[in-house]
Structure 1
Amino acid sequence: MKLHCQIEVINRLHSTLNIRSSGKYLKSTLALIKEPKSEAEYSLLLFSTVNKTGTKYRVKSVKQMFIKFINEGKATIRFEEPPHDLCIKCEHIQLKCFVKLLRSCIAGDTKSINLAKLSSVAVTHKESPTKLVIRDRSAFPNKGFPRTLEFLTISGLNLCNFRRDILLLKQLVVLDLSNNVIEHIPPEFGDMPNLAELNLANNKLGVKGVIDWRWLLRLQVKNKLKLLELSGNELKYLPKSIWKLQSLVTLKVDNNLLEHLPNTIGRMNNLRYLTIALNKLTSLPCSMLQLRLDYIDVSDNKLNDRDTEQSKMVKRNPWEMYVNSLVDIAARVVVKQKITYAPNTIPWTLVEYLDDANSCVCGEPVMNKEHYSFKEYQLKYYCHVVVSDENRKGTVSFLCYYCSPKCM
């Protein structure tokens, strides 16, 4: 049996000499073979592009196996002689099968096992595919997607449904599903462990009005995703929970039907590139003033078309701003201190309440929505590069909330 994986070989003698390991994993192949001179002897053969001749380890020399994180596709095989540790990263199902087979060889339970002999194993490294581009339906692989894929493009095929076999690609880093007619992303998609870039441009996510955004709430996608492309999807709104993509650097939502942005967008501390052109925005949330954007595109919106009646200041009773409920006070502390919360730790109603928090012009969280006004700000003072309409005065209307009369 052959296992195509990534392996780091650690020589335990180096630690006694204060020599640190490189920490680099190499694309390798690990083969479990039968020795030709003895039917009861088994070996592991490790070879890669760096080590083309291969290194042989006798199964008898296996001292210990560490499989605590095997569900994440990680395991370590420790040998008595030579004093090496093989740190393995691989697709978890294949790794489980390989470890099970290795255990049978160690225990001597090999009656039903048929392994190749050393003479029939080619000592060459088969390069596992990491990139696949599909622009024609005939290009889909007959045996399914290789589990080693890191870059996958399926574009311009008019796919109506999200292909669920993509969920098996645990090594996937970049996924491009642009120019299709996909209407729904399954919640399980948020469990992709290594996904950093997702392109869903020119699909139909917003065509039905109600969108299932539950995949945004999964832990893996929140921690890993850095680029999200949602342009041309007929979106009428973005979810308030989008702020939970705390690693997101680039967000593109051009050419949609957005009339407003969620105020929580100001909590996306790592956001640097934002494009919201070709929408129906009449104002921006004042929380965006707290972002440190390098680039923003607000062209072809209605940010200067606000009705004067709509722009008037609302309630001005200062005492109402000082008197808050205990829930409001507690919620402001949670938002200000950036305390983590989720539906599995607090009731869903409280999650929605916290996600609905606004930001004052001073940056303080605001739970009371009754004190607000529309103000004009120049984006060039808050962003390095601003793309806007040529006839614009340079100012943009912001919906501003206030935490106290001092900020009004």
Structure 2
Amino acid sequence: MRLQCEVAVASRLLPSAGLRGPGRAVRALLSLGRPPGAAGVWLLVSTARHRPGSKYQLRENVEHLFTKFVEEGKATVRLKEPAVDVHLSKANVSQLKTFLSAVKLAHQGTNEETLPLSALIPAKASEVEKPKTKMTITSKKDYPLTRNFPYSLEHLQASYCKLARVDMRMLCLKSLRKLDLSHNRIKNLPATIGDLMCLQELNLQDNHLESFSVALCNSTLQKSLQSLDLSQNKIRALPAQFCQLQELVQLKLDDNYLIRLPFKIGQLSQLRFLSVARNKLPFLPSEFAKLTLESLDLFGNPFEQPTPLLPEMHLEVPLTLLECAARAIVHYRMPYDHHTLPSHLCIDLDMAKTCQCGRACLSCFIQTTVTMNLHNVAHTVVLVDNMGGTEAPLLCCFCSLTCYSQFLDRHLQSIR
């Protein structure tokens, strides 16, 4: 029987001799077995510094088992001879309980033949070394082809490796918090990236991406992803579902071919740093005004001069029954799913536009562009456009002629 955990062996005689304790716990492997020619079961404690380990007899030698915090993976085995306390921590709870039960039976000397004993041999380095949490690869020749990535990785960087696709072995690293695949040749992202439940930072700078998968927007990344770098790719547009990544704090989209931003971008309530420099944006969506940013970079986008008096009409009077029903569902927040409504209607409702008055609209609306001061959404603004200053065109939607006339009245009053 073996147990991997952290161990600190403290002698109870040290304080009386005026000596200090053993220090903090270290990674160790505990084994229960019977040495050749010895009676009873022994405990072997192996560490990275002393892999052959220290042996302790258990038969009638356990003074007490402290198990108050066993549910936290902690316990202490107090031995009579030598007078030491073996402090265990960071152990698997179920394995620790089984191990302590075996220690108790070994102390009593009963049913020893039923115990799953192990050979008391020196531990392997991989069994006692601290799990590796960070790995950095910056060239193709260093990329592991014949061995797996350490299961305990939390930060993995694989840059300048000429990867044409995401290595599926990376997607088995369930503890991964930061994944850096910048400066490669990746064209597509597998939907299984969304299975990395702990992933907080994803860097895909300087690849060959042309799109961002809708499946990733609907994955567990919604609750974990905080930083995303898609700069220096070939992306023309992001899906509307992209705004479901509502934990995003930092988003980089520089040097792409973006012709528009998701019109529901205002839903990214945690977003604080946004960089969309050197793209092809003619305007910003109206919900952009809902953002609360600390830094915004829109340098190098060909913003168009707004024409607020020449709107684009998509309005049917009277409104269709579908439009009226859809607006009512959104307004009253009625629950819906694929079991109660056809899939295409669910998608339409998810993608419903928001009027300046706060109501929803699907296909019946008036669309126009106005200017807005970007200092209203960001403390720091980097912007160069045809109009000068820090103003940019905003694409607004109005769900009725009444809303549009009220908007024009307010707009004219502000001009005066």
Q: TM-score, normalised by structure 1?
A: 0.72
Name the SS for the 1:287 alignment partner: helix
Instruction: Give the deviation of 1:330 after TM superposition.
Output: 0.4
The counterpart of 1:402, out of the listed 392, 395, 398, is: 398
d(CA) in 1 for partners of 2:101 and 2:273?
Answer: 53
Amino acid aligned to 2:216:
W
For residues 7-406 of structure 1, what are the structure 2 equivalents within 5 Å?
28-34=27-33, 36=35, 41=41, 88=91, 115-117=118-120, 120-121=122-123, 126-141=129-144, 142-206=146-210, 212-219=213-220, 221-305=221-305, 308=307, 311-312=310-311, 314=313, 320=319, 324-334=323-333, 348-389=343-384, 392-403=388-399, 405-406=402-403
1:363-408 CA distance string (max 9 Å, x none):
5443344222111111112211111117624321111012453453
Instruction: Give the deviation of 1:156 after TM superposition.
Output: 1.2
Instruction: Give the deviation of 1:33 after TM superposition.
Output: 3.6
d(CA) in 2 for partners of 1:366 and 1:245?
Answer: 23
Maintained 8 Å contact 2:202/2:227:
yes
d(CA) in 2 for partners of 1:388 and 1:246?
Answer: 25
1:275-299 CA distance string (max 9 Å, x none):
1111111011001111111111111
Per the alignment, do residues 233 and 315 of structure 1 end up closer, same or farther by CA in structure 2, a change over 3 Å counting? closer
Count of residues paired in the alignment: 365
Amino acid aligned to 2:355:
C
Per the alignment, do residues 346 and 144 of structure 1 end up closer, same or farther by CA in structure 2, a change over 3 Å counting? farther
Amino acid aligned to 1:239:
P
d(CA) in 1 for partners of 2:222 and 2:310?
Answer: 36
Which runs of no fewer than 5 residues in structure 2 stay unpaired? 9-24, 79-86, 106-110, 408-416
Instruction: Give the deviation of 1:173 after TM superposition.
Output: 1.2
Instruction: Give the deviation of 1:158 after TM superposition.
Output: 1.4
Name the SS for the 1:376 alignment partner: strand
Instruction: Give the deviation of 1:262 after TM superposition.
Output: 1.2
Per the alignment, do residues 176 and 211 of structure 1 end up closer, same or farther by CA in structure 2, a change over 3 Å counting? closer
d(CA) in 2 for partners of 1:352 and 1:109?
Answer: 64
| Cα RMSD (Å) | 4.7
Maintained 8 Å contact 1:263/1:359:
no
Instruction: Give the deviation of 1:267 after TM superposition.
Output: 0.8
d(CA) in 1 for partners of 2:39 and 2:329?
Answer: 70
Name the SS for the 1:215 alignment partner: helix
Maintained 8 Å contact 2:316/2:364:
no
Amino acid aligned to 1:331:
V
d(CA) in 2 for partners of 1:62 and 1:185?
Answer: 50
d(CA) in 1 for partners of 2:228 and 2:55?
Answer: 43
Instruction: Give the deviation of 1:231 after TM superposition.
Output: 0.8
d(CA) in 2 for partners of 1:109 and 1:137?
Answer: 53
Name the SS for the 1:334 alignment partner: coil
1:72 corresponds to: none
d(CA) in 2 for partners of 1:310 and 1:255?
Answer: 33
1:67-124 CA distance string (max 9 Å, x none):
xxxxxxxx86576977x995547xxxxx99x789969969989899673427x35999
Per the alignment, do residues 397 and 347 of structure 1 end up closer, same or farther by CA in structure 2, a change over 3 Å counting? same
Q: Report percent identity of matched pairs.
A: 26
d(CA) in 2 for partners of 1:8 and 1:195?
Answer: 30
Name the SS for the 1:314 alignment partner: strand
2:22 corresponds to: none
d(CA) in 1 for partners of 2:399 and 2:344?
Answer: 23
Maintained 8 Å contact 1:300/1:388:
yes
Amino acid aligned to 1:278:
R
Name the SS for the 1:399 alignment partner: strand
State which drifts further: 380-389 or 317-326: 317-326
Amino acid aligned to 2:171:
L
Q: Answer with 1 or 2: which has the greater Rg.
A: 2
Instruction: Give the deviation of 1:3 after TM superposition.
Output: 6.5
1:319-358 CA distance string (max 9 Å, x none):
65999522321034439xxx7x776897532442133122
2:16 corresponds to: none
d(CA) in 1 for partners of 2:98 and 2:251?
Answer: 45
d(CA) in 2 for partners of 1:266 and 1:87?
Answer: 43
1:111-170 CA distance string (max 9 Å, x none):
99673427x359996232221111122323453211121111111121101101111212
